Amino acid sequence: MSSHLFDQAIALTPLAPNLYRGETSEAFENMVGPFGGSTAATLLNAVLLHPQRLGDPVSLTVNFAGPVAAGEFEIEATPLRTNRSTQHWLILQKQNGEVVTSATAFFANRRETLTEQPLGPPAAPAPQTLQRIDLSIRNWFRQYDFRFVHGIPLMRRPADQPADTESLLWVRDFPERALDYASLTALGDVFAPRIFMLRETFTPSGTVSMTHYFHATRDELEKVGTGFVLGQARASRLHANYSDQVAHLWSEDGVLLLTSTQSVYFKE
Amino acid sequence: MSSHLFDQAIALTPLAPNLYRGETSEAFENMVGPFGGSTAATLLNAVLLHPQRLGDPVSLTVNFAGPVAAGEFEIEATPLRTNRSTQHWLILQKQNGEVVTSATAFFANRRETLTEQPLGPPAAPAPQTLQRIDLSIRNWFRQYDFRFVHGIPLMRRPADQPADTESLLWVRDFPERALDYASLTALGDVFAPRIFMLRETFTPSGTVSMTHYFHATRDELEKVGTGFVLGQARASRLHANYSDQVAHLWSEDGVLLLTSTQSVYFKE
């Protein structure tokens, strides 16, 4: 196994057809249980490792149903339907027989087609010109190299900037690791709850459902390698305990790799 | 039962615990099988009708796994996890024992909190000032009153407008029907595949996965009543057979009711 902590965090052992065992990683601990991005990557990994898998991930939805306790868990990954060049999956993570996370995924063999990118990356200084930010109050923060352009959670904004919910940042694995579908899945969840852009003190909050659309094909992931990705996240509305988040991740040369949305609980 | 064709289309008969039977509706026929929005609303309806349901829908992801044949189907709606004020569901639509559609849904009791709406509606003329458009080449189009501001699929654009993937339109049920979670679910899928904004002739295309985040609480749905909703849809990237779509629906008075995303197949 790779010695990289991310590979250790998402590692799974096959137990039976469609059934895997894994263990939470201290390195990716968040407030209550693991960083959701590493949980999502672990669920995707069950399909990536599955002998019946067809093609590459196109979409992934992960529902965070209950806290994942430190220790072992099981993942059931079941192909619900296999067509000629597409495949639909159901993925359940359980502890003590109870569902803690559920997911659906869509995989496909992709071919060359028309290619258009209406949404280009926002202007941002190069990552090398920005300082790495130390957000080490949670273990999982230390597994990433964060270079914020703007929108640091829970920080007082300069008076000349209006309060809004947008964050713009460069990020990559720390230490560096070549981008793949698992790490892109985790990177899509590095944005803090958008409610923290409107507040200066912590209040309980957490993702309840997250959906990733993978634009990046394998050749595009390879091209990124260990480079940074530019992430932008915004809320459209925060209302009655729930907020959405719409996020995009681009490569350093401006290729849109991922569109991601979340529904996020906040207490008050 | 209501005599409205939409209510007839999403109607379900309980067969056993967690199990319902329904039938496709000719009124909501699309090219191959029913309009995806009515299928999504039917799956949500299985939870809305379920005796163990807790609260209102917050998120819904629907995966269109295979064609739904005209005729009967079964829906299994299973609560995967019930917490104090939240509930996670798995919903499977089957024909002849085979999964044709899968879904996960998150429901919750919602309370008053901070409320902010960073994303306001785009400027648009009032719906009453725009002509209803006749798109009656498919049965389901006739169930809606479409008033396009711009971005009619497969139409040549005026030379002074750049080609882009955005549609902006007012829409409501036809005949009028008071908005509820089921009809909002269907309305979130009325946008054609974004590839049709870049082409003037039809090519095979279809949604593979759709995620709705319901911002609207019950009081907000009631306030809309039979009014129009303003829908905006855009693609961020179209690449290697798949495109995303990011869409929002606002009420006539500018309240964001729904954030919706899709992953959409296109052939070439």
Range from A35-44, A249-258, B193-202 carrying the lowest mean pLDDT: B193-202
Decide if A119 is inside a domain.
Answer: no
pLDDT in the model for residue A200? 82
Instruction: Give the residue-averaged pLDDT of B43-60.
Output: 98
Contacts of B266 in chain A (CB under 8 A): 113-114
Who contacts A60 (Cβ-Cβ below 8 Å, separation ≥6)?
Answer: A40, A43, A44, A103, A104, A105, A106, A185, A211, A212, A214
User: Residue A159 domain-assigned?
Assistant: yes
pLDDT recorded at residue B1: 63
Domain assignment of residue B155, yes or no: yes
Residue A144, C-beta contacts closer than 8 angstroms, at least 6 positions apart? A171, A172, A173, A174, A187, A190
- B62, B116, B243, best to mutate vs chain A, most A CBs in 10 Å: B116
User: Quick check: B252 and B208 in contact, CB under 8 A?
Assistant: no
Closest chain B residue to A234, measured at CA: B118
Whether residue A163 is contained in a domain is answered as: yes
Phi, psi torsion values for A94, nearest 5 degrees: -130, 150
Look at residue B118 and tell me if it is in a domain.
no
The pLDDT of B129-156, averaged and rounded, is 90
Q: What tokens appear for A12 in the block? A: 């799974």
Compute the Cα dihedral for B199, B234, A124, A225 and give only its sign. negative
R_g (Cα) of chain A, nearest Å: 18
CB contact under 8 A, B256 and A236: yes
CATH of the domain at A26: 2.40.160.210
pLDDT at A162: 65
Residue B9 has pLDDT above 70, yes or no: yes
- How much helix, strand and coil, in percent to the nearest 5, is found in chain A? 20, 40, 45
Closest residue in A to B119 (Cα–Cα): A236
Count how many domains chain B has: 1
Query: Quick check: A111 pLDDT over 80?
Result: yes
Q: Nearest C-alpha of chain B: how many angstroms from A120?
A: 8
Q: Which residue of B has its CA nearest to A88?
A: B65
CA distance, residue A208 to nearest chain B CA (Å): 8
The answer to whether the CB atoms of A118 and B61 lie below 8 A apart is no
Instruction: Inform me whether the pLDDT recorded for A79 exceeds 70.
Output: yes
- Determine, for residues A209 and B104 on separate chains, whether the beta-carbon distance falls below 8 Å: yes
- Residue B237: which of A61, A63, A117 has the nearest Cβ? A117
* Shortest distance, CA B59 to any CA of chain A (angstroms): 7
Q: Which of B47, B60, B61 to mutate to test the interface with A (most CBs of A within 10 A)?
A: B61
Nearest CA in chain A to B257: A237
- Minimal CA–CA distance to A76: which of A99, A57, A56, A108? A99
**Alpha-carbon A58 to chain mean position:** 14
Q: Is residue A192 part of a domain?
A: yes
What residue in A sits closest to B98 (Cα-Cα)? A81
Residues of A in contact with B244 (CB under 8 A): 213, 215, 259
- What domain range includes position B161? 5-109+124-266
Q: Average pLDDT, stretch B188-211?
A: 94
- As a whole number, mean pLDDT of residues A226-249 equals 98
List the beta strands (DSSP E) in chain B.
Answer: 13-16, 19-23, 56-64, 72-82, 86-95, 98-108, 144-150, 167-173, 205-214, 229-234, 238-239, 242-251, 256-266
On whether ipTM exceeds 0.90, the answer is: yes
Is A239's CB within 8 Å of B248's CB? no
In this complex, which of A111, A211, A268 lies closest to B113 when CB atoms are compared?
A268
Residues composing chain A? 268
**Mean pLDDT over residues B173-189, rounded?**
98
pLDDT tens digit sequence for B203-228? 899 999 999 999 999 999 999 999 99
Q: For chain A, what percent of residues have pLDDT higher than 90?
A: 89
**Number of residues written out for chain B:** 268
Q: Select from B1, B49, B52, B56 the least CA-distant residue to B25.
A: B1
Residue A86 forms part of a structural domain:
yes
Buried b (16+ CB within 10 A) or exposed e, A254-264: ebbbbbbbbbb
**pLDDT tens for residues A49-64?**
999 999 999 999 999 9
Token pair for A149: 């352009």
Structural element, H or E, at residue A81: strand A72-82
Instruction: Suggest the residue from B63, B82, B165 to mutate for an interface test with chain A (most A CBs closer than 10 A).
Output: B63
Does residue B218 sit in helix, strand or coil? helix
Chain-chain contact of A81 with B58 (C-beta, under 8 angstroms): no
Q: Which residue has the tokens 């940074």?
A: A228
Q: Does A123 reside within a domain?
A: no
| Chain A: closest CA distance from residue B199 (Å) | 11
Residue located via tokens 């879904």: B103
Cross-chain residue pair B236–A244, CB shorter than 8 Å: no
pLDDT at A2: 79
Residue B155 has pLDDT above 90, yes or no: no
**Integer angstrom CA distances of residue A53 from A37, A57, A105, A193, B266:** 22, 10, 11, 33, 22
* Predicted local distance difference test score (pLDDT) of residue B32: 83
